[in-house]
């Protein structure tokens, strides 16, 4: 019947919109994750004039791995929505610390560790939350994974050019890494808020 056809089309449009937005969400999230982990050692060496930049990368990936493992147990106590909101807020807070306290080593280690913990469960929590509204089939999952893969390939290259390519103006700009990370975290919040509004309207 016509009402059923209309509802079916509305549902189809909703799924296309939400998948496109989450495709973008995972593209910038995974791209930012790989970029930060890849360039954080250079940032540390350039900012604090230290030769132990590899420790910064180890700290980030160590907290990331710990957060991914802890998320398995947290998921039994908290909803995917709660985990997502916590991760997004944690990402904004951690990158804000890194932006507003650029010369503080304590701020650097705190912000980097918190960012690793915040990013750890964002990918699986997002998919778990999506299952409440969309049938996460193999095709749906492949769309999200493709977004992450594209982000992993494109964004680190772009970050490298903007931050550490001294050929453009003769100097590196390590502080831009943190500005970009804060921008990505805020953009992720904006995208997910819109996704949440769409899901709430659809019910």
Cβ atoms of 33 and 119 closer than 8 Å: yes
Burial class (CB in 10 A: 0-12, 13-18, 19+), 31: buried
Beta strands in the chain (DSSP E): none
Task: Give the separation between CA 106 and CA 62, rounded to whole angstroms.
Answer: 17
Residues of the chain with pLDDT > 90: what percent?
56
Total domains in the chain come to 1
Residue-wise pLDDT tens digits, 38-64: 999 888 888 887 767 789 999 999 999
Alpha-carbon 19 to chain mean position: 16
* Global model pTM greater than 0.75: yes
Residue 7: pLDDT band by 50, 70, 90 thresholds?
low
pLDDT digits over 176-195, tens only? 889 999 999 999 999 999 98
What is residue 17's DSSP assignment?
Answer: H
**Residue listed under structure tokens 């964004």:** 155
Give residue 179's domain range: 2-202
Q: For residues 143 and 18, is the Cβ–Cβ distance under 8 A?
A: no
Q: Name the nearest CA neighbour of 95 among 166, 191, 189, 203.
A: 189
Q: What is the CATH number of the domain that holds 95?
A: 1.20.1250.20
């Amino acid at each position: 019947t016509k009402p059923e056809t209309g509802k079916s089309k509305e549902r189809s449009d909703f799924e296309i919109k939400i998948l496109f937005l989450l495709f973008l969400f995972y593209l910038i999230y995974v791209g930012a994750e790989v970029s930060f982990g890849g360039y954080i050692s250079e940032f540390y060496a350039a900012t604090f004039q230290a030769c132990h930049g590899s420790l910064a990368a180890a700290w980030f990936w160590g907290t990331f791995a710990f957060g991914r493992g802890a998320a398995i147990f947290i998921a039994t106590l908290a909803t995917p929505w709660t985990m997502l909101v916590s991760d997004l807020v944690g990402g904004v807070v951690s990158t804000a610390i890194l932006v507003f306290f650029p010369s503080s080593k304590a701020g650097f280690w705190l912000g980097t560790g918190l960012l690793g913990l915040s990013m750890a469960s964002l990918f699986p929590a997002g998919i778990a939350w999506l299952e409440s509204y969309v049938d996460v089939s193999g095709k749906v999952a492949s769309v999200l994974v493709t977004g992450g893969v594209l982000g992993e390939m494109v964004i680190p290259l772009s970050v490298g050019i903007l931050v550490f390519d001294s050929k453009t103006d003769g100097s590196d700009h390590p502080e831009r890494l943190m500005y970009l990370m804060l921008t990505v975290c805020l953009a992720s919040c904006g995208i997910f808020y819109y996704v949440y509004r769409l899901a709430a309207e659809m019910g």
